[in-house]
């Protein structure tokens, strides 16, 4: 009994924290890395209010929903950069729309970890490599 409790309490705590603060903090680190690899043409300045001082939920282009679900919407923003493999760590990401920018390079296979992703729009960028085979792993994708 005691053993069982010592296992279930940390799991419960993780779940509770995930629904409030911790998960978003983790997302903040990943998203600030993403930002650091993006430039906005032609000014080369990140044009949005993404700052470690505020929760990601208050950042331009990010919305936070129930159960910690997040959405990243930056379409037609004149952004130039690569899709970082670490975006695959945004395990609660349910939507990703960066269509109409200048993202280039290959889609990292780490994105296959985004198991809650229901919407992904990468159209009208300069990505290479076509649709990768692991796309089928994103089972919720519409």
Ligand X SMILES: *[C@@H]1O[C@H](CO)[C@@H](O)[C@H](O)[C@H]1NC(C)=O
Residues that bind ligand X (CB under 6 A): 49, 54, 58, 60, 75-76, 97, 99, 109, 112, 119, 121, 134, 137
Could you tell me the two tokens for 128? 């290479």
What does the DSSP assignment read for 26-45?
HHHHHHHHHHHTEEETTTTS
What does the DSSP assignment read for 52-103?
TTS-GGGSTTEEE-GGG-EEEE-TTS-EEEE--GGGGG-TTEEEEE--SSEE
Least distance (Å) between residue 31 CB and ligand X: 13
Closer CB to ligand X, 49 or 67, in the complex: 49
Closer CB to ligand X, 22 or 124, in the complex: 124
Least distance (Å) between residue 27 CB and ligand X: 15
Closer CB to ligand X, 10 or 129, in the complex: 129
Closer CB to ligand X, 29 or 54, in the complex: 54
Least distance (Å) between residue 51 CB and ligand X: 7
79-82, strands of its sheet edge to edge: 38-40, 79-82, 102-105, 126-127
Least distance (Å) between residue 37 CB and ligand X: 21
Least distance (Å) between residue 54 CB and ligand X: 4
Beta-sheet pairing, 79-82 with 38-40: antiparallel
Closer CB to ligand X, 15 or 25, in the complex: 25
Beta-sheet pairing, 79-82 with 102-105: parallel
């Amino acid at each position: 009994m005691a053993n069982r409790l010592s296992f279930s309490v940390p799991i419960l705590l993780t779940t509770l924290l995930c629904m409030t603060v911790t998960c978003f903090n983790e997302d903040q680190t990943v998203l600030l890395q993403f930002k650091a690899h993006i430039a906005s043409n032609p000014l080369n300045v990140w044009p949005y209010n993404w700052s470690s001082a505020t929760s990601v939920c208050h950042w331009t282009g990010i919305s936070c929903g129930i159960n910690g679900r997040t959405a990243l919407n930056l379409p037609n923003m004149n952004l130039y950069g690569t899709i970082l493999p670490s975006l695959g760590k945004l395990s609660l990401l349910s939507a990703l729309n960066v269509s109409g920018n200048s993202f280039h390079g290959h889609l990292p296979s780490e994105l296959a970890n985004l198991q809650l992703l229901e919407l992904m729009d990468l159209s009208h960028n300069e990505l290479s490599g076509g649709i990768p085979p692991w796309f089928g792993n994103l089972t919720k994708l519409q």
